[in-house]
Structure 1
Amino acid sequence: MTKTLRFAFIKTIPVLFGYLFLGIAFGLLLQRAGYNFIWAFFISTFVFAGSMQFVLISFLGSSMSFVSIILMTLSINSRHIFYGLSFIEKFKHMGKAYPYMIFSLTDETYSLLCGTQIPEDLQEDKVFFAIASLNQSYWVIGSVLGGLLGEMIFFNTTGIDFAMTALFVVIFIEQWLASKIHIPALIGVFCGVISLIVFGPNRFILPALISTIGLIILFRKNIQSREEAQI
């Protein structure tokens, strides 16, 4: 288990720095809204929804209905449906960890699970669980730190959320360098840019995911043949 945790920790180092800074930003903003580090701990432990947690700050204490909050959450995190579909069979074989793996499947965790090559002497399910739990622990620790720091020192949080963008760039570069076939990545970039232009920055993620998956399915045989030729 120690070897599994060491391997998972090394793989999650980029997420560690991204989540710590973003978690601190969330904790600071939550504290500024009047909710201390205890709220930050429980929200990051039981909600753990990344960008949705920042949106949640504006919901707390508002007159927004519970149904509206549910619909907003579903809209913002709808991309996770596609993430889960590609891992559902693997998660089913993880026993008691199955519900947690579904709960913990963030953008960054999904990217790591897709791109990590598991050594032969380690069990895949244990590595997956270690990566997911470590990533959440980084977010929780960052949130609590932000809440505590916000009570002691005033922080200007402008620009802190850029850490998420930087984190995505690092993970994308690592996967690009590790893969010999770049067609799926190029399709994703193309669909993302076109969707951003057509739908705008607030609505492009879901159309980009749908079009990316559609094109990858369409060119699946070509991609597979190229992968086999590289083996």
Structure 2
Amino acid sequence: MQQTNQTILTPSRDSSGAVLAALKAAFPQTIPVLTGYFVLGLGYGIYVQSLGLPIWLPPLMGTVVYGGSLEFVLASLLLDSFSPLSAFLMALMIQARHLFYGLTMLERYKGYGPRGFYMIYAMSDETFSITCSAEPPEGVDRGWFMFFITLLDQIYWVASAFLGAAVGSILPFSTEGVDFVMTAMFVVIFLNQWEKEKQHYSGFIGLAVPFVCLLVFGSGSFLIPSMICILVLLLVLRKPIEQADKTEEVAP
């Protein structure tokens, strides 16, 4: 009987050890994300406080939405009149790339059970980059390794957002103007995308279409037409743009 009990208990100890080993292996992979999320999450929390929203909102949105740039936009949308269509289209435009992230990782996360569903749900740009290239050390369970990379990244964002909200609520000086962080963030995202592209067709579309819609529809109602026109143009011109990029790669 004593031998039987030992046999039953051993797998449990081995399982706990495998999980801990995966956590230890995953943490160093996420350190760059920790540094980036700390700065951006801190700014996000302070930004939400500058809008007069409650301190618990940033960590809640970081847990439920976990959309990075989308969370900045949603914070400002909460102060506007209720417009579900505008909110839906904006969220779709900003986060559409995550659909492809999830589809890309379906096969990679196959067989991981509930962990796979969470990892696809919590797939951020940074997590996608790490999990696409990172390999667990020999003897470390791949499923737990990928799971902890995803979980740690989200914890970093939620904790940083909460810390920023807490700091913003007790700052002894005015936070007026801190909302410019959202504008600056989107400018940086645009510039990064511009540098990655060899042909800047999508960048020119993103600049020209809103400008034309602003002239046609006015500042109060140009956003939705802009997003629709950008989406349609990118779909229609997708093949020519891809062909132009391939031609640029082949050219000496």
Show the 5 A alignment for 1:182-221.
Answer: 189-191=196-198, 193-200=200-207
Structure 1: unaligned runs, 5 residues or longer: 170-187, 223-231
Aligned partner of residue 167 in structure 2, secondary structure: helix
Relative to structure 1, the CA distance from residue 192 to residue 137 in structure 2 (aligned partners, 3 Å threshold; closer, same or farther) is: farther
2:125 corresponds to 1:107:
yes
Relative to structure 1, the CA distance from residue 92 to residue 191 in structure 2 (aligned partners, 3 Å threshold; closer, same or farther) is: farther
TM-score scaled by structure 1?
Answer: 0.72
Give the conservation status (yes or no) of the 8 Å contact 1:44–1:143.
yes
Q: Distance in 2 between matches of 1:46 and 1:190?
A: 32
Give the conservation status (yes or no) of the 8 Å contact 1:19–1:142.
yes
2:23 corresponds to 1:16:
no
Number of aligned positions between the proteins:
197
Q: Which has the larger radius of gyration?
A: 2
TM-score scaled by structure 2?
Answer: 0.66
2:154 corresponds to 1:136:
yes
2:74 corresponds to 1:56:
yes
- Report which stretch shifted further, 197-206 or 61-70: 197-206
Give the conservation status (yes or no) of the 8 Å contact 1:24–1:147.
yes
Q: Show the counterpart of 1:40.
A: 58
Q: Show the counterpart of 1:229.
A: none
Q: Distance in 2 between matches of 1:192 and 1:9?
A: 37
Displacement of 1:87 after TM fit?
Answer: 0.6
Displacement of 1:198 after TM fit?
Answer: 4.5
Letter in 2 for 1:190: E
Q: Distance in 2 between matches of 1:142 and 1:133?
A: 14
RMSD over aligned CA atoms reads 3.5
Displacement of 1:35 after TM fit?
Answer: 1.6
Structure 2: unaligned runs, 5 residues or longer: 1-18, 211-226
Displacement of 1:2 after TM fit?
Answer: 2.4
Relative to structure 1, the CA distance from residue 90 to residue 4 in structure 2 (aligned partners, 3 Å threshold; closer, same or farther) is: same
